Amino acid sequence: MNSSDSSAPHQVPVRGYISVFAALLVLTVVTVGVASLELSESSTVLVAVSIATLKATLVALFFMHLKGEKPLVFWSLGLTAFLFAALFAFVLWTEGDHLVGTRFLDAFGSVSKPVSPQPQSGEGGGAPVTGGH
């Protein structure tokens, strides 16, 4: 048979797919295990995102058949990832002042104090409630 014959059946590497599936299952169990550990929040998120990135790479390489692709596909994928990260960085940069609180300057450059909301009439502006009987 000629290798360019279109009537030849396509060989599916089932053993490789099962191996990748098993690796994804193991990584999922590891992610759940890491979440149950008493790590700091930032460490837990870092490990979980690292495992998720590894899992996404396995899915893209084997199930989406990117393993044997030409380098141009990877350049376009890398450009997309870079622009996606740049978009998030730009949003965090422009909206980041809300994380620590916005401070407005008056006309003379002094910082005005934040105004706490006052209860309107009829909204429970009475005496504070104490926790005793």
pLDDT for 25-47, tens place per residue?
A: 999 999 999 989 989 988 999 99
Cα distance from N-terminal residue to C-terminal residue, the chain:
92
Residue 113 pLDDT class (50, 70, 90 cuts): low
**Rounded to an integer, what distance in angstroms lies between the CA atom of residue 61 and that of residue 20?**
10
**Rounded to an integer, what distance in angstroms lies between the CA atom of residue 45 and that of residue 39?**
10
**Rounded to an integer, what distance in angstroms lies between the CA atom of residue 49 and that of residue 43?**
10
Span 2-7, mean pLDDT? 58
H helical segments located in 2-121: 14-36, 41-58, 71-95, 97-100
User: pTM of the full predicted structure?
Assistant: 0.55
